[in-house]
Chains A and B, each alone.
Chain A
Amino acid sequence: MMKTIQNPAVGELSPAGAGVDRKSSTLNQLLLSLKSIPVLLAFIVLVTVVVLAAFAPVLGTVDPIAINPGGRFSPISEAYWLGSDAYGRDLYSRLLYGARISLIVGLGAAAASIAAGLVIGVVAGYLKVLDAIIMRVMDGVMAIPSILLAIALVSLTGASLVTVLVAITVPEIPRVVRLVRSIILNVRSEAYVEAAVSLGTPTLRILTRHMVPNTVAPLIVQGTFIFASAILTEATLSFLGAGLPTEIPSWGNMMADGRMYFQLYPGLVLYPGIVLALTLLSVNILGDVLRDVLDPKMAKRT
């Protein structure tokens, strides 16, 4: 019964090597883009910041909170590699421990807002009934200025890492929701999704197997931008005094502390400021590269 139907098209299979693995070609493209000098520099800066933050305790630091009344405004020396601040705390140690805070806030906010945004976005995109309601709520959240929301939250619950994270994450969620929803809306009319429906595939499997994978690349790209903006927002909040408690070494706190003595000791503000600026620049450059490689359509639009 299983007689093969002869047809010339069978011989026409494209050669097995032709673009077999899309993942490896993406990786190749990413490696290739490191050839450009700015991208390479950005990569080096980010890796350095991550290494410094991860190995802060063993890189010749002292307790970043320890106050030394005798060593106030110490210049650069054997004991104080970058000098000390108004309370005699070691600037170098505070800078490295501050990197930890910044990276934790960046990663945490990116991960949390993407996780929440993905779930809400998928629901909004797939269930027409809830779509209008969810999106109006999101519009509402978007209308609140993020700094204002953060200040309100912190003043209600007290300053802690978790409060700051929540305060940064919530305003980012609507943007992720919009992104995910638009992708889901696009994909749900694809013929392969309809084919899955007619094959009797349960809704949850259609979502996880056929629809959500399409959101991964754009979400990675969006994640890098949230990462960068979260670091900046945390620094802003700390600088305004609405962020982490002042003794905790964060770049924003360091700049706030040093602000009054800027004309005498510019290093107090400059060191954390420069590190913050360089980190953000690198994350943004690398985010652009990721976007160009993973999401060529979006790159063309901007």
Chain B
Amino acid sequence: MTDQKQDAGHVTAQPVLDVRNLDVSLVGVGQTKVVRDVSVTVNPGETVCVVGESGSGKSVTAFSIMGLLSSEALRCTSGSILLQGENVLEAGPERMRSLRATTMAMVFQEPMTALNPVETVGDQIDEVLRIHRKELGKRERRQRVMAMLESVHLPDPERIYNSYPHQLSGGQRQRVVICIALILEPKLLIADEPTTALDVTTQRQILLLIRELQEKHNTAVLFITHDFGVVADIADRVVVMNRGEVVEMGQRDQILAEPAEDYTRMLVSSVPSLVPDKRTENRNEIVLSVKELGKVYSEKRFLKRRRDVAAAVDINLTLRRGEILGVVGESGSGKSTLARCVVRLQDPTNGEVVICGENIAALRGQPLQTMRKRVQMVFQDPYRSLNPRLTVGDSITEGLTNFGVSREAALAKARELVTLVGLSPDVLQRFPHQFSGGQRQRLCIARALALEPDVLVADEAVSALDVSVQAQVLALLDDIREKTGIGVLFITHDLRVAAQICDTIMVMQDGRMVEFGPAADVLTTPQQAYTRALLDAAPGRHWDFQHFRPL
């Protein structure tokens, strides 16, 4: 499919988008360049993926093209951005307004914030036509909007037209955003991580949709992503960026199979494989067993019937010493509820959580406080899980001082722990804002280990990190498991991450356990249809990233 496309791209004389030697600098003293000498071209009907880790300048580049940089902070200082031969850097505000939507359009990462919450989605799509197609009458506009809603495969367009954004699911919202972007058939579509906030199965549908609409209208697509799986699925050409510069650029297969630069090589090979290693069966003693756990959220409403939502139903699992158990599922599957019940941040409605022989589900008050040190948690967002007002040392020693350890002894232990997680002991005097996301997550792991728990619950602990950092943190967890023999309950939505680190895997859907077994069995010979669907939706599953070859 790509061969034809590449040929088509070469034949066309003029690219839709031609960015030449673009520099973007911070406004003010120093004028630090955040994007240096970036050149990218996109031809009609072609998909160019810009990949890079956070801070690589990929979004800044996209915003420059759309003219969306906030002029007080960032400014394009040299180079040109030619959109069908016209330099948008020289276009006035009026001209930019008419270029947007008619010639170029953008799809953003978070569809909820991209849509106006107080207008119906029909009105929001209609607005584009009202502004740019003044000749159309009310009825014609409505017809066009309906046709557009239908073309993005939204069910019941009539109902969707009159819905507000909060009444739609994440995937439906992103379809609406795509409607707004594509209703005027722009020549260029810029998609800035459009599927990052979505579940894998939804992501797959959105990617297929973009591809379908692109083929229909011969749109040029500039697709910004951090995910090499997505790149392997949709890209014609790939631009790799790092720290504001283009590292490497080339055809997709060339970048994925024979990357010339070390950085690209490192990025591609950090994508975890979907095929887990064979692991020996763990026969250690059981440290955590969850029996028939259930959690019902009930919403008490004034003068209305109580509404109950079952977030977890009849969950059974056992975790042995030194084992990593992965809980995978899409958002809303109840995996976080399970995690929070195990550490007793929430009280389970029924069932047992037995840690080292004691059922903590029923404990209250002081006995519960004492049992808390047996199970610790690492949270998803490293930027919110450390108190910004406390030094790292104070955060790590908090648990120990709670259990009566003297400050000196606690600090000595903290020094030992930060060394264990790969940081130097002098970090203890610093504040969290002085660390990167990956380092903060290491500190959170150190804090969780301070009480020497038997069970560590990691709730999406690596989801907010770049792939290369993700690989390091996963290696750290594996290493700690080996050294301390801790049992890890690893919650993730990412099957690749689960395949890399987990011994056993439990698949959850709608609060229920769908499949449970050794990682190798679940991921290579799934028994349940839902597990197979999840695996099929994982992007880039036909590519073996570690060995730079197709599967």
Contact = CB atoms under 8 A, between A and B. Distances in A.
Interface in B340-354: 343-345
Interface stretch (B248-256, B309-317, B320-328, B430-438): B430-438
Interface string B482-498: 01000000000000000
A13 B424 CA distance: 10
Contacts of B451: 199-200
A34 B472 CA distance: 48
B129 interface: no
17 contacts: A2-B420, A4-B419, A5-B475, A5-B476, A7-B476, A9-B438, A9-B469, A10-B439, A12-B439, A13-B427, A13-B434, A192-B385, A195-B379, A195-B444, A199-B399, A201-B402, A213-B389
Contacts of B431: 20
B416 A2 contact: yes
Nearest to A6: B422
Interface stretch (B44-52, B87-95, B99-107, B369-377): B369-377
A196 interface: yes
A213 B150 CA distance: 52
Interface string A177-205: 00000000000001110111111111001
A5 B398 contact: no
A197 B385 CA distance: 12
B447 A195 contact: yes
B421 interface: yes
A154 to B, nearest CB: 40
A72 interface: no
A190 B395 CA distance: 15
A213 B376 CA distance: 25
A196 B444 CA distance: 11
Q: Bin the interface of chain B by size.
A: 35 or more
A175 interface: no
Interface of B: 343-345, 369-370, 372-373, 375-377, 379-381, 384-387, 389-390, 395, 398-399, 402-403, 416, 419-424, 427, 430-431, 433-436, 438-439, 442, 444, 447, 451, 469, 472, 475-476, 479, 483
Nearest to A205: B402
Q: Bin the interface of chain A by size.
A: 20 to 34
A13 B435 contact: yes
A14 B435 contact: yes
Contacts of B369: 200, 202
B436 to A, nearest CB: 6
A9 B439 contact: yes
Contacts of A16: 434
B427 A7 contact: no
A96 B434 CA distance: 50
A7 B472 contact: yes
Interface in A229-266: none
A190 B387 CA distance: 9
B433 A19 contact: yes
B373 A200 contact: yes
A31 interface: no
